[in-house]
Amino acid sequence: MHNKWRQALANPLALSGFIIIFSILLLALLAPLIAPYDPNAIDVRAILLPPSLQHLMGTDGLGRDVFSRMLFGAQISLLVGFIAVGIATSIGIVLGAISGYYRGWVDVVIMRLVDVMLSIPTFFLILAVIAFLTPSIWNIMIVIGLTSWMGVTRLVRAEFLSLRGREFVMASETLGARDARMIFIHMLPNSLTPIMVSFVLGVASAVLVESGLSFLGLGVQPPQASWGNILTDGKEYIQFAWWLSLFPGVAILLTVLGYNLLGEGLRDVLDPRTNNTR
């Protein structure tokens, strides 16, 4: 596994993705130390100041320092991304494993459930659930997680189905291995590669969805800073304060790009099939 990571980082795509993600992670973790101001401190003498040495990314409509808010916003987007995709991946692994291992009617039921979930427009589904709950950071993590597990489920199921026909799995089955051993010792570890790739790509889309929801006012609620809700202000002041729109957008773009590059790079290295065609 370690060897594979090293191999992955030799790939220029994956490496550039890794560098972007690592820097953003670092900035997010060190936010309380780096941030020059309290992200929620209102300063009426410093409303809508353009970027300067005092305020690297300017100030917003309440005189709050945009750079500090961006740093704390990075924490939010990473937190939401990882927890939401963690939830989705766990559900996907459990359902996909059950589906692919036991097959039969359980498989049919789970796969039809996947079809049903896929035929409801995702963003509508997320918004509908949020309408019945209070918008908060925890709720959107759960909602994004509960509405994005279908891809992983199909993936894990397909892996399990193909592993079932492999000799080492059949050998272990012949020796009388119990279901749990078959699933956790033999099949799951051998499906980790595609799961990892889909996790990284999943974080990218969760970050996009979170910022979209927060932008619409249905995600992370102010005064808590998130890239999406800084952009809501940006829209408000678009004619006078370009910095409120520019920086959060670029941050989201870079983060999503980073995860996508890392994910695709990992796929290239870890999946022998794509190596031939590229």
- Footprint on this chain of other proteins (rule: CB under 8 A): 112-113, 115-125, 127-134, 204, 208, 211-212, 215-218, 231, 234-235, 238-239, 242, 245, 248-249, 252-254, 256-257, 260-261, 277-278
CA–CA separation, 39 and 67 (whole Å): 8
Residue number with CB closer to other proteins (190 or 260) = 260
CB atoms within 10 A of CB 180: 8
The strand pairing partners of 65, in sequence order, are 59
Pick 172 or 260: Cβ nearer other proteins? 260
From the list 66, 183, 88, 180, the residue with the least C-alpha distance to 141 is 88
Q: Which is nearer to other proteins, 82 or 242 (by Cβ)? A: 242
At residue 228, what is the residue type?
G
Name the minimum Å distance from CB 97 to other proteins: 22
CB of 202 to other proteins, least distance (A): 13
Longest dimension (CA), the chain: 77
Token readout for 144 is 């994004």
Structure tokens at 54: 């005092």
Own/partner pairs, 127-136, CB within 8 angstroms, 24+ separation: 127/213, 127/218, 130/213, 130/218, 135/213, 135/217, 135/218, 135/219, 135/221, 136/220, 136/221
**Residue 203: CB minimum distance to other proteins, A:** 12
Residue 126 or 163 with smaller CB distance to other proteins? 126
User: For residues 222 and 249, which CB has a smaller minimum distance to other proteins in the complex?
Assistant: 249
- Residue (of 256, 253, 251, 255) closest to 70 by Cα position: 251
Say what the alpha-carbon torsion angle 175, 177, 181, 186 is, to the nearest 10 degrees. 30
Closest distance to other proteins from the beta carbon of 213 (Å): 10
CB of 164 to other proteins, least distance (A): 23
Beta carbon nearer to other proteins, 95 or 208: 208
Q: How far is the CB of 216 from other proteins (least distance, A)?
A: 7
